[in-house]
Structure 1
Amino acid sequence: MTGPAYPPLDTPKPVARDIWVVDGPVIRFYKMPFPTRATALRLANGDLWLHSPTRWSASLQAQLEELGPIRHLVAPNWIHYASLPEWQAALPGAQVWAAPGVAARAASRNVAFRIDHALGQDAPPDWAGQVDQMVVTGSNLHAEAVFFHRASSSLILTDLIENFELRTLPWWMRGLVRLGGIAEPGAMPRDMRASFAGHRAELRAQVQRMIAWAPERVIVAHGRWYDRDGTAQLRRAFAWLLD
């Protein structure tokens, strides 16, 4: 067993031109070990856009700043904001963009940080024409902003697909991962599927929009991401919804 993290940690790893992933530490969520992953994009003006930031460190910040100034910090759903206070403290001039539900969740946990902009269904001028976006809605628990980096043909998700490699997990977690529907080759967690009850048509239309983007890659926050055949992987992962 190699463990659920994806070393080397806390270092940008090239995906394609102007896009990198940063694998972070394993965190505990409902007492289960979850690997974490951020995605960094370099926009046409040279600015860096950091999605779902993992733990801050001076070293990681310095490595990213070698790629460009970090101007945008993105909290894509109500859970993926935990490291933002540290990043904001280190980069007070960076703009923070948050999905619906982030502000309320952070306040309920007494986590304080500044949110500059709400993420909506259309890309703002800061990255319009370079990164397409929408907010996946219809769940009574979960709204997630998803992004498509045109230049690299990369779809950037957070929790809509999780993909845990069983060989990396402790024995006691393997059955839970299978039960949750997130064992490799990966899919939407079953509890999240249930949260879209009554809104499957809305979710189906949103997934079909992602498919229409025709991604070559699909980057996810937890588990192995897909470095090829991205559109086919989307169709497979959401077959329960599309068929």
Structure 2
Amino acid sequence: MSELRPWSDGIWFAEAPLRFYGIPFGTRMTVVRTSDGSLLLHSPIPLSARLRAQLDAIGRVRHVVAPNKLHHLFLAGALAAYPEARAYFAPGLVEKRPELAGGEPLSDVAPAAWAGTFEPLVVCGSRVMQEVVFLHPSSRTLIVADLCEHFGAHSPWPTRVVARLARMYGRPRMPPDWQLSFRDRAARRSSFERLLAWDFDRVILAHGALLRGGAKRVFEREYAWALA
């Protein structure tokens, strides 16, 4: 059962099972209190009655974010649960989900409703997908979906097998198939130069183990290829 867990002051997360092509990867939603006291759901998961009660106890959900073209599966459920919430979506998703046209596309500029809480960045350079990542400056936390995944001894055995084949076992990094799609060198380099200039030490990611310290050094090592 999904349980809301604290990360830092004003940030929580909750996890849910998820299979991708039959492999158990799991997924994670991040919840952030914005500057006006309302809540933002990043990459929502299925909202059980218990999880909704926990959310309602800490604030009012007013923002729901789909950070890339894959992390939208439970967006409709979150918006149905919180009809007053506004949807925000990554570039390219509205073409896949036309019903989101009434929401707000994400860019490198934070929407006014939660400016001051996050710094967003559209990671460009891939011909397949763009992802919007977020820096929460006050907690030095980077929030991502698929940009970084982290599988290892903690993962189910089928996931460990796939991670070893993909050379991702024990290495927080981008999935290699997505990495290969970053063919626009100039756009890729510009995005990652900006990302690596951010001051972060921890990462909440959607798939795999959280990075609770030293994350900036890990990213400088694992994403050096993006600066080439």
TM range (shorter): over 0.9
8 Å CA contact retained: 2:25, 2:159: no
**Deviating more after overlay: 64-73 vs 203-212:** 203-212
Deviation digits for residues 188-230 of structure 1 (CA, Å, limit 9, x no counterpart): 1110111112x13322221221221110111110001101112
Matched, 1:43 2:34: yes
8 Å CA contact retained: 2:38, 2:62: yes
Matched residue SS, 1:207? helix
Deviation digits for residues 125-165 of structure 1 (CA, Å, limit 9, x no counterpart): 11222210011112111110110011111110110111112
Aligned AA (1:162): E
Matches within 5 A, 1:54-73: 54-73=45-64
1:44 is displaced (CA, Å) by: 1.9
Matched, 1:176 2:162: yes
1:37 is displaced (CA, Å) by: 0.3
8 Å CA contact retained: 1:97, 1:115: no
Matched, 1:21 2:13: yes
Q: Percent identity?
A: 38
What's the RMSD between the two structures over aligned residues?
1.7
In structure 2, distance between residues paired with 1:221 and 1:66: 23
Between the two proteins, the alignment pairs up a number of residues equal to 228
Residue 193 of structure 2 corresponds to: 208
Matched residue SS, 1:40? strand
In structure 1, distance between residues paired with 2:174 and 2:200: 18
The TM-score, its normalising length taken from structure 1, stands at 0.88
5+ residue gaps, structure 1, are 1-8
Matched residue SS, 1:129? coil
Matched residue SS, 1:49? strand
Residue 81 of structure 1 corresponds to: 72
Matched residue SS, 1:211? helix
8 Å CA contact retained: 1:43, 1:127: yes
8 Å CA contact retained: 1:85, 1:113: no
The TM-score, its normalising length taken from structure 2, stands at 0.93
Deviation digits for residues 103-137 of structure 1 (CA, Å, limit 9, x no counterpart): 22335xxxx56641111121111122221001111
Aligned equivalent of 1:123, options 105, 110, 129: 110
8 Å CA contact retained: 2:155, 2:208: no
5+ residue gaps, structure 2, are none
8 Å CA contact retained: 2:87, 2:100: no
Matched, 1:140 2:137: no
In structure 2, distance between residues paired with 1:187 and 1:45: 34
1:179 is displaced (CA, Å) by: 2.5
Residue 226 of structure 2 corresponds to: 241
